[in-house]
Structure 1
Amino acid sequence: MTITVLDTYSAMRRILLAPAADRADLLRSMLEPVAGMYRYFPGEVDLVAMHRQSSGFPIDRDEERCLAALETLAEAGAWDRIRRALDEGLALQLEATPELDVQDITVLFLLGDPADEHFMGPCLGVTGNGGIPGHIVITLWPFPENVARLEATAVHELHHNLRYGPGEVVWNPMTVTVGEHVVSEGLADAFARQLYGDDLGRTRIGVPHQDDDAVFAKVLTGLGVTGMENFTAWVHGDPSAERFGVAPVGLPMGAGYAAGNRLVDAYLAATGQTAAQALRADSTKVIG
């Protein structure tokens, strides 16, 4: 199998420097390699519109700010670091599960929108999507904390890709529970922590509530909830729920990540497994 980290540095620079009238077509061309991640969406997806809705960098303003951020990432060696991290993460996973059938993965690394208050505020300038096998998308603003965590962010999304790969854990939109989503985030963080340590490996939005017993108890009450439209509130928290028009449930940003880490830590301690060995762990057993 092959992990391809697309050269989005060159593509984004070209877009940001192009005449405004040409940018949408250039953006669409850059996004086309990951169009397959929307294969389960009803109807045809407008890639440019999806980019805007997902806090991707703007193509009608903030050009200088985005170009400067792009150079910050280039100077940090972001693309090479992500590529090496994914190779290292895959090697670690295959050592633990050598029979794993891994398909080709295409990685799209993007700048986020510096004027998106939700992305820059509650999301802390980083989002990722690795749950659709074969594709990883990371959207990021180069705050120093995010640049330091590039590797951990990449392998977190890799873990999702491998957990839900062909023949592995099935994510059935009709029956999947909040519990599965929460556990998957905890396992992905545990995998990143196995590689890079606790300080870098935990997803930032979950860290403030890691030891909050009240938040943990509240998340536990929702683990049996089904219906993916409810997951944002229970996993990401009220700020994201409100952003996407979902009813809030009284949880802070990243609550599900914090709870997932606690559940997974207890499971790994009880079983003596590493995060890599627990790739396929049944979420109901992790929850206990």
Structure 2
Amino acid sequence: MTISVINSASGMSRVLTADAKDRADLIRDMWAPMVGMYHFIPGGVDMATVHQQNFGFRLDSAIEQVHEGLETLVAADAWTRVEKALESGVTALAAADPGVAIPDLTVLLVLGDPTSKHFVDEVQGISGFGGISGYIAITVWPTSRVLDRLEAIAVHELHHNVRYSPGGIVWDPQTVTVGEHVVSEGLADVFASELYGDAGYTHFVRDGTCSDDQVLAEVASGLGVTGMADFAAWVLGDSSARLFGADPVGLPTGAGYAAGARLVRAYLDATGATATQSVRTPASDILRMALPRLGLTADTAH
């Protein structure tokens, strides 16, 4: 398999130094290798819109601030670090599960919007998407915390990508459950922690959430919810739900990640397996074993 990390440093530089009227087309050019992510949408999508939906930097404001962010990413050798982390992650997954299918990967690292309070403050400068086989998009604002976690962020998305590649778990947007999404986030975080220690855990999870039994119980009550429309609230929390037009359910930011990590660790403790080995393990198997160990029952879910 091959890992192709797009040279978005030069791509972003071209956007930032271009006339305002030309920036949208240059953004489309930079995102063009990722078009295959949306093969299932008839007629395709406007990749400039995709950039915005992924919290990408604005084309009409904070240009100088984004310039500085780009300089920070370049100085951190971010693209090389992401590529090497993905290579290490692929090696680990292939060794742990020799039958796993690992696709060729196209990877885009792009700067986010420093004027977005939600992006900068609520999710603390990170938005990743790796759920479509063969493609990983990572949007960051290069704070010291994000830069410290860059490798872990990359392999978190890799775990998703391999899980939802052919031969793995099928993600049907109509029937997929909150339980699958929560378990997948937990597996990805624990996998990243197996490679990078505590840096593996998603950093926008609020202090105390990881050990809050009430949060765990509330997330568990939604594990059986189906369809993706309401997932933001159960996984990302109420703030993201409001942003995306979904109904809040009374959960803090990152609640689903925190609950997912606890569920996955309970399963791994019971079985002696690792998250690296469990990339293709069905969520139902994990929940069946984890819920009782955490004092919850399968019928806790709707």
Q: What range is the shorter-chain TM-score in?
A: over 0.9
Change (3 A) 1:101 1:53: closer
Structure 1 stretches of 5 or more lacking a match? none
Question: Which residue of structure 1 lines up, in the alignment, with residue 271 of structure 2?
Answer: 271
2:231 equivalent to 1:231: yes
> Matched residue of 1:124: which SS?
coil
1:227 is displaced (CA, Å) by 1.1
C-alpha separation between the residues in 2 aligned to 1:153 and 1:239?
21
Question: Which residue of structure 2 lines up, in the alignment, with residue 70 of structure 1?
Answer: 70
Identity of aligned residues (%): 54
C-alpha separation between the residues in 2 aligned to 1:207 and 1:163?
26
C-alpha separation between the residues in 2 aligned to 1:227 and 1:164?
16
Question: Which residue of structure 2 lines up, in the alignment, with residue 202 of structure 1?
Answer: 201
User: What letter is aligned with 1:44?
Assistant: G
> Matched residue of 2:155: which SS?
helix
C-alpha separation between the residues in 2 aligned to 1:103 and 1:249?
36
1:164 is displaced (CA, Å) by 0.6
C-alpha separation between the residues in 2 aligned to 1:195 and 1:44?
36
> Matched residue of 2:12: which SS?
helix
C-alpha separation between the residues in 2 aligned to 1:158 and 1:30?
21
1:204 is displaced (CA, Å) by 1.0
Question: Which residue of structure 2 lines up, in the alignment, with residue 257 of structure 1?
Answer: 257
User: What letter is aligned with 2:28?
Assistant: R
Q: Is the Cα contact below 8 Å between 2:186 and 2:260 reproduced in 1?
A: yes
2:253 equivalent to 1:248: no
Question: Which residue of structure 2 lines up, in the alignment, with residue 16 of structure 1?
Answer: 16
C-alpha separation between the residues in 2 aligned to 1:219 and 1:100?
30
Question: Which residue of structure 1 lines up, in the alignment, with residue 299 of structure 2?
Answer: none
User: What letter is aligned with 1:185?
Assistant: E
C-alpha separation between the residues in 2 aligned to 1:79 and 1:228?
31
Structure 2 stretches of 5 or more lacking a match? 289-302
> Matched residue of 1:109: which SS?
strand
TM-score, normalised to structure 2, is: 0.93
2:286 equivalent to 1:286: yes
Q: How does 1:18-167 map to 2 (within 5 A)?
A: 18-167=18-167
C-alpha separation between the residues in 2 aligned to 1:24 and 1:174?
33
- Report Cα offsets for 1:207-233 as digits up to 9, x if no partner: 521001111110000000001001111
1:50 is displaced (CA, Å) by 2.0
1:168 is displaced (CA, Å) by 1.0
Q: Is the Cα contact below 8 Å between 2:219 and 2:259 reproduced in 1?
A: yes
- Report Cα offsets for 1:213-262 as digits up to 9, x if no partner: 11111000000000100111100010000001001111111000000000
- Report Cα offsets for 1:42-90 as digits up to 9, x if no partner: 5431111221122101111211110111011111110000000000000
- Report Cα offsets for 1:11-46 as digits up to 9, x if no partner: 101110111111111110000100111223354311
Q: Is the Cα contact below 8 Å between 1:205 and 1:257 reproduced in 2?
A: no
C-alpha separation between the residues in 2 aligned to 1:135 and 1:40?
14
Q: Is the Cα contact below 8 Å between 2:90 and 2:102 reproduced in 1?
A: no
C-alpha separation between the residues in 1 aligned to 2:104 and 2:179?
28
Q: How many residues align?
A: 287
> Matched residue of 1:137: which SS?
strand
Question: Which residue of structure 1 lines up, in the alignment, with residue 291 of structure 2?
Answer: none
Question: Which residue of structure 2 lines up, in the alignment, with residue 4 of structure 1?
Answer: 4
TM-score, normalised to structure 1, is: 0.98
C-alpha separation between the residues in 2 aligned to 1:207 and 1:281?
28
